[in-house]
Amino acid sequence: MKPGFISRLEARVAATGSLLCVGLDPRVTSPLRARQHCLEVIEATRRHAVAFKPNTAFFEELGPSGMEVLAEVVAAIPEEIPVLLDAKRGDISTTAAAYATAVFDRIGAGAVTVSPYLGRDSIEPFLEHEGRAVFVLCRTSNPGGSDFQERRLAPGGTTLYEEVARTSIRWAGPDRLGLVVGATMPEAVARVRAVAPDHWILAPGVGPQGGSLQETLAAGLRPDGMGVLLPVSRAIAGAPDRAAAAAEFCAAVTGVRGTAGAAPAAPSDTLAVDLFDAGCVRFGDFELKSGRRSPIYLDLRNLAGHPDLMRRIARRYLPLLGRAVPLSDSAPSSTSQHDAGDAFARLAGVPLAGLPIATAVSLESGIPMVYPRSGVKTHGTRAAIEGPFRRGERVVVIDDVATSGISVLDAVERLRGAGLDVGVAVVLIDRGGRAAEALADEGVELRAVTGLGDIVESLCTGGRITDTEADRVREFLRA
């Protein structure tokens, strides 16, 4: 099977060191001239482009012949360079399915920009095409984007564009879905990166629109130096020497990328430092519950005193949850109804330390939460599980740390005893014990935002702890 769009994109980035997505916007008056223009741009920039982005509007305005030229141009793009069609499609049902067929099967693109305004069912027809990807409009680069996208959902709450990102990444993983965030607003790029640490960001606006290359990459690059796709159209197509313009842009990206990849904005490094500064990760000599001595101690209960950090951590859980499936009040609740996979209906917090985190994840995502009591109430409702639910619903268990897996397994037993289905547990930190194996034996997959070893390495690299302290923890973990 042919590799998917994102796999091909990342292979191209690795091969070229570039992040340049060349726009194909033929601002001409005839189909023949449009074809010639695009082929010339492709030939001049093919060495430096990691993707080409034709804009359908400039082909559509030329009439039926213009659409034929679009298909010819896409077919002329070298096989190893993926094609992202800038079409901003947004509709539902058979109309969306027809758009998807046109984009992928008739025009031959590997990905397409889409509008999420109509919700998940406007995106799913595109995702049904194996190996193809969508880039969801999130915070667009135009000034008028603030009319709606910057509006806050509640006083002091998150913006609409952040909610778009948070919801969209539950529809598909980073191998199928990206987000469009304008380079003209690096703060928005940083906020979306915090919500979606692994997904690609298409960042239009570098160049004539005023977006800063350095600020965009610093805000959006993943720790692996990938994750930001930079579309450039007029600055290259209108240059006297297009090949030189593309080479110059790529050289600038390489220079910035070399420093931005190690910037403090990298999600994993920031997380470790933030936890350390909040007193959630401590180094010294501690006695654990088991009686063993440990050179490191995790106290995530301290997160209760750091609401901003709690919010950022909650966002890090979101890509690991799976696909939230809203259920109507009258619909029967069973995972078979959803052909489950990663589908789930509710979150389930593990008492005690997992409850504040689960609550924060619920507030950030809008997904309802339940939690098992440590003991069945002997008064009132005598409930073993707090919060509304229906038998057969699938829940994702949320906890803070996994070591042996005992606390999660206890919660799983109580949830299953109440008729709920559990297949996934997500924790902030995997200490590297046998939790994953113990949970797998009970049919539960453990997913972790980060590992204890990764935190130690980040803190050592960032100068928060000494090499001696790091070596003590490494030795402890090996033992």
**In this model, does residue 349 exceed pLDDT 70?**
yes
Angle at 243 between CA 238 and CA 247, to 5 degrees: 110
Residue 263 has pLDDT above 60, yes or no: no
Q: How large is the average pLDDT for residues 186-199?
A: 91
How far lies 288's CA from each of 192, 221, 439, in Å?
A: 38, 38, 22
pLDDT at 156 over 80: no
Q: Which of 221-235, 252-266, 290-304, 457-471 has the highest mean pLDDT?
A: 221-235
In whole angstroms, give the CA distance from residue 102 to residue 382: 57
Going from the C-alpha of 62 to that of each of 70, 102, 196, the distances in angstroms are 10, 18, 38
Q: Is 411 in contact with 381 (CB distance < 8 Å)?
A: no
Lowest mean pLDDT segment, chosen from 57-61, 298-302, 363-367, 378-382: 378-382
- Specify the pLDDT at position 1: 56
Is the per-residue pLDDT at 38 higher than 80?
Answer: yes
| Residue spans per domain, the chain | 5-260, 268-478
Query: Residue 290 — pLDDT band, cuts 50, 70, 90?
Result: low
Does the pLDDT value for residue 248 go beyond 80? yes
Q: Which residues are catalytic?
A: 88
What are 424-474's pLDDT values in tens digits?
999 999 988 788 999 999 999 999 988 898 899 888 877 888 988 889 998
**Among 82-96, 144-158, 221-235, the least confident range:** 144-158
Give pLDDT, residue 325.
Answer: 63
Structurally, at CATH architecture level, domain 5-260 sits in Alpha-Beta Barrel (3.20)
Average confidence score pLDDT of the chain: 87
pTM over 0.85: no
Residue carrying the six token digits 């598909």: 172
What distance in Å separates the CA atoms of residue 236 and residue 213, rounded to the nearest whole number? 15
Question: 163-167, 234-238, 362-366: lowest mean pLDDT where?
Answer: 362-366
In sign, the C-alpha dihedral spanning 60, 65, 69, 75 is positive
What pLDDT shows up at residue 376? Answer: 56
Residue with tokens 């709690």: 310
Q: Are 429 and 448 in contact (CB under 8 A)?
A: yes
**For residue 230, is pLDDT > 50?**
yes
Q: Residue 336 above 50 pLDDT? A: no
pLDDT of residue 259: 54
Mean pLDDT of 115-120: 94
Residues 367, 113, 259, CA angle at the centre, nearest 5°?
85
468, 424 contact by CB (below 8 A): no
Provide the 8-state DSSP code for 333: -
Give the model's pLDDT for residue 374. Answer: 72
pLDDT value for 326: 52
Among 190, 186, 203, which Cα is nearest to 113's?
A: 203
Residue 221 token pair: 């690059």
Out of 155-159, 284-288, 328-332, least confident range:
328-332
Asked if pLDDT for residue 279 goes beyond 80, the answer is yes
Residue 377: exposure state from Cβ atoms within 10 A (0-12, 13-18, ≥19): exposed
The pLDDT tens digits for 396-428 are: 999 999 988 899 999 999 999 999 999 999 999
Select 268-478's CATH number: 3.40.50.2020, 3.30.70.380, 3.10.580.10, 3.40.605.10: 3.40.50.2020
Whether 36 shows a pLDDT value over 80: the answer reads yes
Angle formed at CA 357 by CA 356 and CA 363, multiple of 5 degrees: 90
Q: Could you give the CA distance from residue 47 to residue 269 in angstroms, rounded to a whole number?
A: 33
Number of C-beta neighbours around residue 367 at 10 A = 21
- Whether residue 71 is predicted with pLDDT greater than 50 in this model: the reply is yes
The residue length of the chain stands at: 479
**374 in Cβ contact with 351 (< 8 Å):** yes
Cis peptide before 409 (omega within 30 of 0): no
Residue 292, judged by CB atoms within 10 A of its CB (0-12, 13-18, 19+), counts as exposed
Share above pLDDT 90 across residues of the chain, in percent, rounded to a whole number = 56
Say if residue 118's pLDDT is above 90: yes
Q: How far is CA 474 from CA 35, 78, 181, in A?
A: 60, 47, 39
